[in-house]
């Protein structure tokens, strides 16, 4: 895809409409997946959200990764990134949504004193602390002369990304297990924003580009998306609020 973009730029081809079309296609694919989550139940929904968490984390840490420096580092940043992501997931999942009370009510709770119960519940905090300390030791061992600044920057970015993705997604999972309406609302809200953004980028004559990360994004499209989200929020609130 990157080579295709470079070829198109060298040929003078405008890919703005193509990228916007791809974005709106991805939004509606996400919407269909959310509808499938509502149809197939909590198990499918939870798996779907976990996939979204992993994809979101991968895209977020990719923003700061530098290929030329990664090629010269012995222990790649990607190894530590996914290790700390696993640590945060291991911290959040048993504490907040896959709790002992939920497992007992489902009839699949592990026996007290078993290995699963010891690792995931009884000594969970100690296990998580040990995993994080082991990760920090791995990071210190992986430090390489000439790349200290880059490696520390990647560590900070990785921890911040894993924490933000983990906490936000844990809240989403909690809302899923209580009322899946909030999950559906969030997905539809994203779709509405992208739809308004698509219409504005395609047909509005004035285009003020706002992000180097996303060249096709415009300030006008972003503003239209925000307005569309507020309109959608108002419609949902009026429709579902008690009379």
pTM of the model: 0.65
Q: How many CA atoms lie within 13 A of 25 on its CB side?
A: 6
Q: In whole angstroms, what is the distance from residue 41 CA to residue 43 CA?
A: 6
Return all residues near 195 (Cβ < 8 A) that are at least 6 apart.
Answer: 24, 27, 228
pLDDT band of residue 243 (cuts 50, 70, 90) is low
pLDDT at 83: 94
pLDDT at 49: 76
Three-state DSSP class for 209? Answer: strand
Tens of pLDDT along 116-126?
888 888 899 99
Closest CA to 158 of 50, 213, 76: 76
Point out the least confidently predicted range of 4-13, 76-85, 148-157, 182-191. Answer: 4-13
SS3 annotation, 33-58: HHHHHHHHCHHHHHHHHHHHHHHHHH
Q: In whole angstroms, what is the distance from residue 217 CA to residue 196 CA?
A: 12
Using the predicted structure, report yes or no on whether residue 230 has a pLDDT greater than 50: yes
Tens of pLDDT along 92-113?
888 877 788 878 877 778 888 8
Tens of pLDDT along 174-226?
766 666 666 677 777 777 877 777 777 777 776 666 555 455 667 777 788 88
Angle (CA) 84 42 116, round 5°: 50
Residue 65 φ then ψ, to 5°: -75, 135
């Amino acid at each position: 895809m990157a080579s295709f973009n470079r070829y198109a730029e060298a040929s003078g081809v405008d890919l703005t409409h193509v990228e916007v079309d791809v974005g709106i296609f991805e939004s509606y694919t996400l919407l269909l997946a959310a509808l499938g989550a509502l149809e197939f139940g909590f198990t499918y929904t939870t798996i779907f959200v976990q996939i979204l968490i992993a994809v979101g984390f991968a895209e977020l840490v990719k923003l700061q990764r530098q290929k030329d420096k990664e090629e010269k580092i012995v222990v790649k940043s990607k190894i530590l990134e996914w290790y700390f992501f696993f640590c945060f997931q291991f911290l959040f999942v048993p504490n907040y949504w896959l709790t002992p009370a939920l497992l007992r009510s489902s009839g699949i709770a592990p026996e007290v004193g078993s290995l699963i119960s010891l690792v995931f519940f009884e000594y969970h905090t100690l296990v998580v602390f040990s995993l994080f300390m082991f990760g920090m030791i791995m990071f210190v061992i992986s430090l390489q002369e000439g790349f200290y600044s880059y490696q520390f920057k990647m560590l900070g970015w990785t921890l911040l990304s894993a924490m933000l993705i983990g906490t936000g997604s844990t809240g989403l999972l909690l809302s899923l297990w209580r009322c899946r309406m909030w999950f559906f609302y969030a997905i539809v809200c994203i779709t509405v924003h992208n739809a308004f953004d698509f219409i504005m980028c395609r047909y509005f004559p004035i285009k003020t580009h706002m992000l180097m990360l996303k060249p096709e994004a415009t300030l006008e499209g972003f503003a239209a998306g925000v307005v569309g989200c507020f309109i959608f929020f108002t419609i949902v609130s009026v429709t579902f609020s008690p009379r």
